[in-house]
């Protein structure tokens, strides 16, 4: 498959469709396999022989080829959750005494991994303000600091980090960089182009698009790092069912088209929310008055449909009344699916060094593929319930 001058939409349509993988169909075969039969006794132990399904099948190969196209990576791993996509690169670099620098806005379960499992392995996680920029270099410990973990924008508070500045100082010091790229879905933000070593994403969100699967990817252009992560995956015995790999690839084919709609409706609803008297602030980097807007404009090419809203101070009971009155927005975690979702965030905002001063209850909306006027009408219903609670 040539990448050549073809545009992303074209490449995502055609990647991973070698006849060896598809058997002549449009899509790769769903190859369910534990045992892979070889043709002679000698091949059983031949170096590099493909003999076992845990290492993937034709279905996984097709998916990995297509995911490499997404961010122009040369190495890809697919894992069975987005959380694993975050933890595998860290485990690949962990050793007793290792020091990791972690953005304070990281996804809660990612933090928990650093605080619990990694600590038990004799490693230290030090959190930093997502707006730290190149000054993160002051926290480097010679020989000990292995990696910087970023999530940009944060999936609850939507801060954008200066990824190129952080990548530059890290690279100069031999510190690896990892960025959780789930919000931008691998389409609107290209960390590997900005000097980040490893881009990870939860494919459970926009790539899956249907709230019906769990998965993650890890992409890099650094072959040595890839080899290290491959060993980690093999050592842990991680594998992804072929059916799931197929579903991720199926979602990937329509990703860019769905994202345009998620992004446009998201911005439409966000702008409407800005006009509401109950709203203190909308946290959406594509809004001109958002403090992250300049970095978003510089380093992103679009917005997905996930953003936050800070309400004017209101009792928890009223916030619950707002959410409970919604008919189109499901109350549930995750995002990126075809259906809109809403949550209140305050119970899970875990910050240790840079707690944002929000000034009111924080809600998060994932805008789905419904008509955005219908979504606004649904939110208006919520505001009426908020007022009468």
Ligand X SMILES: *Cc1c(COP(=O)(O)O)cnc(C)c1O
Cβ–Cβ under 8 Å, residues 77 and 123? no
3-state secondary structure of 128: strand
205 is catalytic: yes
Is 246 labeled as catalytic in the residue annotation?
no
Contact positions with ligand X (CB under 6 A) in 327-346 = 334
Taking residues 175 to 214 in sequence order and writing x for each that binds ligand X by CB under 6 A, - otherwise, the string is -----x-x-------------------x-xx--------x
For residue 271, give both structure tokens.
Answer: 């702008």
Q: How far apart (Å, rounded) are the C-alpha atoms in residues 66 and 61?
A: 9
> Judged by CB, which is closer to ligand X: 137, or 219?
219
Q: Which of 16, 153, 186, 216 binds ligand X (CB under 6 A)?
A: 216
Catalytic one among 11, 17, 205, 281?
205
- Cα torsion at 300, 218, 71, 49 (round to 10°)? 180
Neighbours of 32 (CB within 10 A): 11
Q: Which position among 11, 17, 104, 107 bears the catalytic label?
A: 107
The least distance separating ligand X from the CB of residue 333, rounded to whole angstroms, comes to 8
Which of 16, 28, 56, 82 contacts ligand X by CB under 6 A? 82
- φ, ψ (nearest 5 deg) of residue 102: -130, 130
Q: Does 87 bind ligand X (CB under 6 A)?
A: no
Nearest Cα residue to 233 out of 127, 89, 26: 89
Residue in 75, 100, 107, 158 binding ligand X, rule: CB under 6 A:
107
| 172: number of Cβ within 10 Å | 10
Q: Is 178 left (phi over 0), alpha (psi -120 to 50) or beta?
A: beta
Active site residue 107: yes
Verify whether residue 180 is a known catalytic residue: yes
| Nearest position to ligand X, beta carbon | 82
* 285 three-state secondary structure: coil
Site string for ligand X, 150-179 (x = CB under 6 A): -x---x------------------------
Q: Does the N-terminal peptide bond of residue 153 adopt cis geometry, omega within 30 degrees of 0?
A: yes
Smallest distance from ligand X to CB 144, Å: 26
Please list the active-site residues: 54, 107, 180, 205
Binding site for ligand X (CB under 6 A): 81-83, 86, 107, 151, 155, 180, 182, 202, 204-205, 214, 216, 334
């Amino acid at each position: 498959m040539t990448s050549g001058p073809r545009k992303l939409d074209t490449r995502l349509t055609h990647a991973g469709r070698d006849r060896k993988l598809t058997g002549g169909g449009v899509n790769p075969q769903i190859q369910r396999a534990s045992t892979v039969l070889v043709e002679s006794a000698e091949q059983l132990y031949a170096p590099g022989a493909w003999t076992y399904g845990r290492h993937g099948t034709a279905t996984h190969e097709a998916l990995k080829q297509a995911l490499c196209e997404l961010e122009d990576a040369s190495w890809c791993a697919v894992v069975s959750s987005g959380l694993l996509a975050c933890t595998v690169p860290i485990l690949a670099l962990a050793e007793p005494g290792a020091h990791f620098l972690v953005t304070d806005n990281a996804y809660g379960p990612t933090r928990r991994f650093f605080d619990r499992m990694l600590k038990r392995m004799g490693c230290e996680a030090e959190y930093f303000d997502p707006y730290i920029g190149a000054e993160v270099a002051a926290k480097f410990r010679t020989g000990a600091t292995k990696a910087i973990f970023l999530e940009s924008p944060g999936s609850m508070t939507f801060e954008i980090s200066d990824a190129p500045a952080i990548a530059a100082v890290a690279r100069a010091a031999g510190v690896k960089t990892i960025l959780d790229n789930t919000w931008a879905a691998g389409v609107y933000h290209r960390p590997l182009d900005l000097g980040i070593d490893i881009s990870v994403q939860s494919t459970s969100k926009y790539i899956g698009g249907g709230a019906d699967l769990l998965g993650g990817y890890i992409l890099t252009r650094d072959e040595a790092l890839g080899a290290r992560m491959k060993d980690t995956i093999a050592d842990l015995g991680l594998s992804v069912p072929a059916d799931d790999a197929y579903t991720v690839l199926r979602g990937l084919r329509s990703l860019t088209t769905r994202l345009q709609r998620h992004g446009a409706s998201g911005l439409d609803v966000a702008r409407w929310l800005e006009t509401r008297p109950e709203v203190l602030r909308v946290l959406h980097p594509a809004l001109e008055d958002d403090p992250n807007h300049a970095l978003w404009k510089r380093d992103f090419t679009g917005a997905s449909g996930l953003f936050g809203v800070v309400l004017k101070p209101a009792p928890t009971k009223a916030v619950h009344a707002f959410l409970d009155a919604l008919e189109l927005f499901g109350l549930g975690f995750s995002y990126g699916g075809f259906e809109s979702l809403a949550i209140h965030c305050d119970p899970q905002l875990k910050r240790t060094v840079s707690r944002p001063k929000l000034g009111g209850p924080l809600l998060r909306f994932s805008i789905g593929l419904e008509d955005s006027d219908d979504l606004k009408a649904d939110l208006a219903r919520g505001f009426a319930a908020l007022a009468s609670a």
